[in-house]
């Protein structure tokens, strides 16, 4: 679609605890919003298990398909933290003890035992990603960025690399809520989408106080164009009796 940036990203959320439902992912929304702000379209997200073959397969598939790949999780000191080793194998390089990472861990204080040293083992040739919170760094190799799973650390790591990402025009969005069933708005909404190929239009149903409705979201890089499309949607939905309401703020 012409309204979309050509710079794309994929997020690999790594962790059995996410798939089991024990832990709820809190990173995906952050990546979607921050990447859009930078003009990078988050095209795909995958939740995968802590298994070498699984991580290797997904890293290799995604790094050739998307401009950037961001992984979260699996770079801690315990036995199930296998992301670094799997990424090294995906790239066909050795997993080595990164001396700069060791120095950062040492400066953070505490006994540097074998478990903590595991957090300094990275693929040969990887660049460190700063971690201003706990000092255990993430790393980048080619277009793959390996970040912690803990949300505040993942966000801090992302902030340290965001300025170096090649991006397009910022992706904007606007929305309007309509209070009618999707089946009643599908045809006029499709006509509007066909008439405006420079933006992406999505419909997301809801039920509020027993009333069916949908949030109609318009996204693209041209903010003025988005405003025009929203105005046309409001006109069409008003004609249908959908009582369109624009979110406050």
The residue-averaged pLDDT of 33-39 equals: 91
Q: Name the nearest CA neighbour of 47 among 22, 64, 65, 67.
A: 22
- CA separation for the pair 8, 148 (Å, rounded): 21
The pLDDT-based confidence of 3 (bands split at 50, 70, 90) is very low
**Sheet architecture: strand order including 211-220:** 172-178, 211-220, 200-208
- CA separation for the pair 68, 43 (Å, rounded): 10
The first and second tokens of residue 81, run together, are 């933290």
Say if residues 117 and 91 touch (Cβ distance below 8 Å). Answer: no
Tell whether pTM > 0.85.
no
Say if residues 63 and 144 touch (Cβ distance below 8 Å). Answer: yes
Q: Name the nearest CA neighbour of 67 among 186, 167, 207, 169.
A: 167
Task: Give per-residue pLDDT as tens, 108-142.
Answer: 877 789 999 999 999 999 999 999 998 899 999 99
- Say what the pLDDT of residue 165 is: 92
Least confident among 39-48, 61-70, 165-174, 186-195 = 165-174
- Say what the pLDDT of residue 5 is: 56
Q: Name the nearest CA neighbour of 217 among 248, 181, 245, 176.
A: 176
DSSP string, 96-135: EE-HHHHHHHHHT-S---HHHHGGGEEETTPEEE--TTT-
The domains found in the chain, sorted by start residue, are: 8-162 (3.40.980.10), 172-239 (3.30.70.1130)
Task: Give per-residue pLDDT as tens, 133-187.
Answer: 988 999 999 999 999 999 999 999 999 999 999 877 778 889 999 998 888 899 9
The pLDDT-based confidence of 221 (bands split at 50, 70, 90) is confident
91, pLDDT greater than 60: yes
Q: E strand or H helix at 69, and its extent?
A: strand 68-72
Q: Give the list of residues 6+ apart from residue 181 with CB closer than 8 angstroms, or none.
A: 212
Q: Which residue has the higher pLDDT, 113 or 1?
A: 113
| Residue 155: HSE in the Cβ half-sphere, 13 Å Cα cutoff | 10
- CA separation for the pair 27, 155 (Å, rounded): 8
Q: Classify 241 in phi/psi space as left (phi over 0), alpha (psi -120 to 50) or beta.
A: left
């Amino acid at each position: 679609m012409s309204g979309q940036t050509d710079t794309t990203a994929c997020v690999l959320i790594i962790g059995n605890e996410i798939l089991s439902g024990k832990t709820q992912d809190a990173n995906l929304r952050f990546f979607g919003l921050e990447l859009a702000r930078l003009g990078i379209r988050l095209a795909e997200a995958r939740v995968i298990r802590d298994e070498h073959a699984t991580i290797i397969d997904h890293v290799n598939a995604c790094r050739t398909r998307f401009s950037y790949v961001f992984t979260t999780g699996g770079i801690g000191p315990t036995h199930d933290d296998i992301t670094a080793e799997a990424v090294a194998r995906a790239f066909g390089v050795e997993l080595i003890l990164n001396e700069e990472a060791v120095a950062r861990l040492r400066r953070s204080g505490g006994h540097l035992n074998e478990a903590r040293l595991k957090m300094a083992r990275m693929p040969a040739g990887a660049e460190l990603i700063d971690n201003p919170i706990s000092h255990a760094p993430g790393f980048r190799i080619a277009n793959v960025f390996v970040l912690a799973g803990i949300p505040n650390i993942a966000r801090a790591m992302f902030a340290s690399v965001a300025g170096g990402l090649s991006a397009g025009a910022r992706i904007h969005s606007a929305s309007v809520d309509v209070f009618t069933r999707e089946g009643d708005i599908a045809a006029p909404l499709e006509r509007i989408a066909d008439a405006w190929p420079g933006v992406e239009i999505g419909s997301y149903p809801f039920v509020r106080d027993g009333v069916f409705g949908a949030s109609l979201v318009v996204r693209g890089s041209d903010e003025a164009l988005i405003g025009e499309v929203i105005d046309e949607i409001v006109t069409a939905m008003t004609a249908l009796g959908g009582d369109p309401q624009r979110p406050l703020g």
